[in-house]
Structure 1
Amino acid sequence: MAATLWHFLHPSGQVLVALTLDIPLSLVECIPLMEDLYYASIECAGVPLEQLAGERVGCRPEGAEVQAGGFLPERHQLVFRSVSSPEDTPDHDTVQRVIYRTDLPYMPEHSSILYPDELNRRPTTVGALGPYASLICGHQDYIENCVLLSAVQAVGSAARLREIREVAHAYGHRFRARSDEDRDTHRRRTMLESISDGLSHLELELSYSVETGGDIGTLVPALRVESFHNALYSAMGLTERSGVIGQMLSRLSNAIAAELTSVQSAEQRAGDRRRIRTVVAVTFVTTVTGTLSLLFGFFGINAQQVDQSQSMFDERYIPIYAITALILACAMVIFGGMRLHERWHERQERGHIRTWETIHGLLAREFGTVMLDPARVAASRPRTRVPGTRTPPPDEEPRPSGAPV
C-alpha cells in the first residue's frame, strides 16, 4: 500500500488537503476504510492526520496535541478502479455500497446517485457520483487527475460557500438586532456602512470563489471532465445553494440601502432644524442690535424731542424704551415658541412606531391585523353557551333559516 499527502491552494486562498491511497482491495472491502478516512480517524506513526497535514504547511499548534477530526466538514472521496473487461464492471448494487459507504442492499428508485453520460459511454467505463463520494472506473490516468482537481475545486467552493453563509447570517442578525431606541444617526450609519461594505466583499467572494469555480470547461477542454464537474456541483447542491445565498445577500443589501435612506432622511431633517436654529439666532442678534441701534440713534439725532440737558433715563423717554422692550419681547416669544414647537415635533418622532420593530408589528400596522399578547390574555376561559334548538310554530310548515315571517 502506498499513501501520498497532497496540499492544494484554492483560488480563494484556502489550503485543501488530499490523501491518496493505493490499496489491493476490492470495492466492497474498501468500505470500512472509507468510513475511517471520511472521519479522519487515521494516524501515521501515532500522529493524527490533521496535525501531520498542518506540519507539512508550517502550521504547528501550540500547547496540547491537536486531536483528529479538526478538518472542515466539507469532504469528498474518490474511488478509482481499472476495468479490463465488461464483466469486471461493478454493478449498481456495488456502486451504491461504495458511494453510501455501507455494505447493505438498496432500492434503486430511492437513490440520489448521478451517472454522467460522458463517463458511462463505454461498457468498460463507469462514473457514479454522490454528494460525499464518487466512483470512477475504467478511465485514463489524465481523466482521474482532472477528476481529482475537480473535486478539490468543488470542496473548496463548498467550504467557502458555508463561510459566506455564516457571515451573512451574522450580518442579518446584527441588522435585525439593532436597538430601536438608538437615535444616534451617526452610530447607526456607521453600523450600516460596515455591514454594507462586508456584503460587497461577500458578493465578490461568492462570484469568484464559488460561482466561477462551477465552470471547468474553459480550463480543461474535455467532455468527460466537464461532465463530471457539472454533475459533482449538482450532486453537492452548490449551484442551488449559491443562488439562494446570492439572493439572501442581495435582499439584505436592499434592506440596508433602505435603512441608510431612512438615516439620511433623519440626518437631513436634523440639518434643517440646525439651519432653522441658526437663522433664528442670527435673526435674534440682528433684532437686538438693530433695536439698540434704533435706540442710540434716537438719542443721537438733533431734534427738539431730544433734550441734551436731560438724562437718557428721564421719564420723558419712557415711550421709546417701551417700544424697544416690546420689540425684544416679541423676538424672545417668537424664538421660544419655535423652540417649543421643535421639541414637540421631536417627541412625536420618538413616539412614532419604527418600521423595524418586528414583522408582527409591521403586519399589524399595515394590514390591520389584531395581534394578541399571551401575557395579557385573561386566565379565565370565556363561558360558552350552547344555542337552543328552534321549535317550529304549531300547525305550520317549518320555515328555513332567514325566511321572512
Structure 2
Amino acid sequence: MVGSLSAAASAGSARPFDPIVARPSHRLSIVIATSAETADLLRADGQLPETYLRLGRLAAFYRDADSQLPRVLAVRDLDPPTLAFRRGGGTAATIRAARLWLFDVQAGPIVAVLSVDLDCEPLVLIPFLEDLYYDDLTIGGSPIDGVAADLLDGVDAAVRHSAGSRLELTSQRHQMVFTSATLPEDSVQRLIYRADLDANPQYSSIQYPAELNRRPTSGAAVGAYVSVLAAQQDYIENCALLSSVQVVAASCKIRRVRFAAYETLLRVRELGTTRATMSRPERRAELARLHETLAEQELALTFGVEAACEIGILVPALRVENFHRQLVACTGLRDSIETVSTMLARATSVLAAEEGSQTALDAQRQDLRRLRYGVTIGLLSTIAVPIGIILGFFGGNYTQVDGNRSMFDWSHYHDMYLAVLGLILAAGTVFAILFLLERLQIRRASKPSH
C-alpha cells in the first residue's frame, strides 16, 4: 500500500504540498478601508479572488463562500518609477513592482490595497511602512486616494459614498509584510512597531499564531496595525491578505455603526425637546425613521462585523483560521462589537421610551378631545333647551303671556330672558374652562422632561 502510494506520488507532477514562496523581494501591502461601498450590502460584488490570487487547495472553500468573502472589484499594475515615498525615497531600496487593488466585502466598505515589492534589507522597510500608513507617497504625482478613486470610476458596479462624491481613505487600515527570509524576533518587533528601537518582550502586544509558527523555518507575528509573515507558502500569504481585507472592512463598518448610533441617540434627545414645536405626524414619522435606522445598523453589525470575526466555518484550514482569529483579537474587534451593541441597545431603549411618551401624549389628547366634544354637545343641548323653553312659554296659554305685547318686550319679559341667558352663559363658561384646561395639560405634557 505504501509502495503504491509512493509510486502514484512520483508519477504525478503535483507535489504533496506547496513549497515556501521563493520571492526575492520583500512585499509590503497596506489594506485601507474607503468611504465607498457597493449598493448591495448583503453580497460582495466583483470577481472571485482566485482570478488574481493563487489560493491553492483552499480555492474551493473561497469559491463556495464567495458571497460572504472579499471579491476583487479592480486591479491595476503600477509603474515602479512613478511611486515616490517621502521617507523611503531616501533609502537604498529598489522598487521592483507595485499593484493597486480594490476589494468589495459583504456589508462592508470597498477596501483598497497597495502592494509594493522592495529589494532591501528587512529593517529598511520601516520608513516605507511609515509612508504607506500615513499616505506619504504619490503615484505619478497623485495621492493614493486619487489613484484609487480613478480606478473605482472604471468599475462596472453601483457605488455609493458616505462622504462626498469621491472615494476617500479612512483611518481603518492594516499593513502586511511578506518575506521569504526567516526573521529574528527582534527584527519582527521593529517592523510591527515601525520603529528601529529595542523593546522589552514582556511588554509587547504582538501575537504569534501557533499554526503559522509550527515549522522552524517559517514564522508569523500579528500586531494591531502591522503583521509579518515570513517564509510561508504563497497561498497562505494570499489567504492572510484576504483576512486582513475582511477585518479592516469590519473595523470600518463598526466605526460607522458607532457614529450612526450616537447620531440616533442625539436625534432622539432632540425629539424630546421639540414636542411643543413639532406636529404629531412629524414626530411619528421621525420616530419611525429612527427605528428603521437602528434596524439597519443592527443588520450591518451582524453581517458586516460579527460575521467577519470567524472564518473557520467558511475556510476550514488551521493556519488561515489561526491567523484570522489572532488578527481579530489584536484589532480589538470583539470588544468594539460589545461596546457598539450596548450603544445600539441603549439607543433602542431611549427610542422606545420616547415612543411610549408620544403614545401617552396621544392618548391624553384623545381623552381631552372626547371630553371637549361631549361638552360641546352639552353646550348645544343647553342652548337648544332654553330656546325651546322660550318658544314653549310664548306658545302656551299662560296668564303671564300678554297677547298684546311682543315677545321681545324686554321690560315685560326680562326675568325669563335673564334666566335663559344665565343658563347659556354658564354652559359657555364651563366649555371655555375645559378648553383652557385641555390646552394647559397638553402644553405641560409637551414640555421635555429633565
TM range (shorter): 0.7 to 0.9
The residue aligned with 2:106 is 11
The residue aligned with 2:13 is none
The residue aligned with 1:74 is 172
Q: Measure the CA separation in 2 of the matches of 1:70 and 1:334.
A: 66
Q: Measure the CA separation in 2 of the matches of 1:229 and 1:333.
A: 77
The answer to whether the aligner puts 1:207 opposite 2:309 as a matched pair is no
The residue aligned with 1:140 is 233
Correspondence for 2:152 among 53, 57, 60: 57
The residue aligned with 1:112 is 205
Q: Measure the CA separation in 2 of the matches of 1:196 and 1:119.
A: 45
Give yes or no for contact 2:212–2:319 (8 Å, CA) kept in 1: yes
The answer to whether the aligner puts 1:277 opposite 2:375 as a matched pair is no
The answer to whether the aligner puts 1:150 opposite 2:243 as a matched pair is yes
The residue aligned with 2:430 is 334
Give yes or no for contact 2:365–2:442 (8 Å, CA) kept in 1: no
Q: Sequence identity of aligned pairs in percent? A: 37
For residues 237-278 of structure 1, the C-alpha deviation after alignment (integer angstroms, 9 at most, x for no partner) is 111011101111110111121022112212222222222222
The answer to whether the aligner puts 1:229 opposite 2:327 as a matched pair is no
Seen in structure 2, the aligned counterparts of structure 1 residues 178 and 325 have a Cα distance that, compared at 3 Å, is closer
The residue aligned with 1:288 is 383
Q: Measure the CA separation in 2 of the matches of 1:34 and 1:348.
A: 61
Q: Measure the CA separation in 2 of the matches of 1:308 and 1:216.
A: 105
The residue aligned with 1:263 is 358
Letter in 1 for 2:247: A
The residue aligned with 1:165 is 258
Seen in structure 2, the aligned counterparts of structure 1 residues 58 and 285 have a Cα distance that, compared at 3 Å, is same
Seen in structure 2, the aligned counterparts of structure 1 residues 336 and 6 have a Cα distance that, compared at 3 Å, is closer
Seen in structure 2, the aligned counterparts of structure 1 residues 80 and 266 have a Cα distance that, compared at 3 Å, is same
The residue aligned with 1:103 is 196
Alignment of 1:213-252 (within 5 A): 213-252=308-347
The residue aligned with 1:39 is 134
Q: Measure the CA separation in 1 of the matches of 2:387 and 2:270.
A: 56
Please state whether the residue corresponding to 1:146 is helix, strand or coil. helix
Q: Measure the CA separation in 2 of the matches of 1:21 and 1:312.
A: 109
For residues 78-129 of structure 1, the C-alpha deviation after alignment (integer angstroms, 9 at most, x for no partner) is 112235xxxxx32221110111111111100110001122222221221210
Letter in 1 for 2:426: C
RMSD: 2.8
Q: Which has the higher mean CA deviation after the structures are superposed, 185-194 or 301-310?
A: 301-310
Q: Measure the CA separation in 2 of the matches of 1:271 and 1:320.
A: 39
Q: Measure the CA separation in 2 of the matches of 1:169 and 1:340.
A: 40
Please state whether the residue corresponding to 2:379 is helix, strand or coil. helix
Structure (1/2) with the larger strand percentage = 2
Q: Measure the CA separation in 1 of the matches of 2:287 and 2:247.
A: 33
Q: What count of residue pairs does the alignment treat as equivalent?
A: 341
Q: Measure the CA separation in 1 of the matches of 2:444 and 2:112.
A: 61
Letter in 2 for 1:275: R
Question: Displacement of 1:311 after TM fit?
Answer: 3.4
The residue aligned with 2:185 is 92
Letter in 2 for 1:54: A
Give yes or no for contact 2:407–2:413 (8 Å, CA) kept in 1: yes
Q: Which has the higher mean CA deviation after the structures are superposed, 20-29 or 104-113?
A: 20-29
Seen in structure 2, the aligned counterparts of structure 1 residues 76 and 181 have a Cα distance that, compared at 3 Å, is closer
Q: Measure the CA separation in 2 of the matches of 1:111 and 1:249.
A: 33
Please report the TM-score for the alignment, with normalisation by the length of structure 2: 0.68
Q: Measure the CA separation in 1 of the matches of 2:246 and 2:292.
A: 27
Please state whether the residue corresponding to 1:102 is helix, strand or coil. coil
Letter in 1 for 2:341: G
Please state whether the residue corresponding to 2:196 is helix, strand or coil. coil
Seen in structure 2, the aligned counterparts of structure 1 residues 172 and 301 have a Cα distance that, compared at 3 Å, is same
The residue aligned with 1:183 is 276
Question: Displacement of 1:74 after TM fit?
Answer: 1.3
Question: Displacement of 1:218 after TM fit?
Answer: 2.5
Question: Displacement of 1:7 after TM fit?
Answer: 1.3
Please report the TM-score for the alignment, with normalisation by the length of structure 1: 0.75
Q: Measure the CA separation in 1 of the matches of 2:144 and 2:202.
A: 38
Q: Measure the CA separation in 1 of the matches of 2:426 and 2:185.
A: 97
Letter in 1 for 2:329: S
Structure of higher RCO (CA pairs closer than 8 Å, 6+ residues apart): 2
Q: Measure the CA separation in 1 of the matches of 2:440 and 2:130.
A: 70
Question: Displacement of 1:343 after TM fit?
Answer: 5.2
Q: Which runs of 5+ in 1 are unaligned?
A: 61-68, 84-88, 358-405
Give yes or no for contact 2:268–2:350 (8 Å, CA) kept in 1: no
Q: Which has the higher mean CA deviation after the structures are superposed, 233-242 or 74-83?
A: 74-83
Question: Displacement of 1:147 after TM fit?
Answer: 0.7
Task: Answer with 1 or 2: which has the greater Rg.
Answer: 1
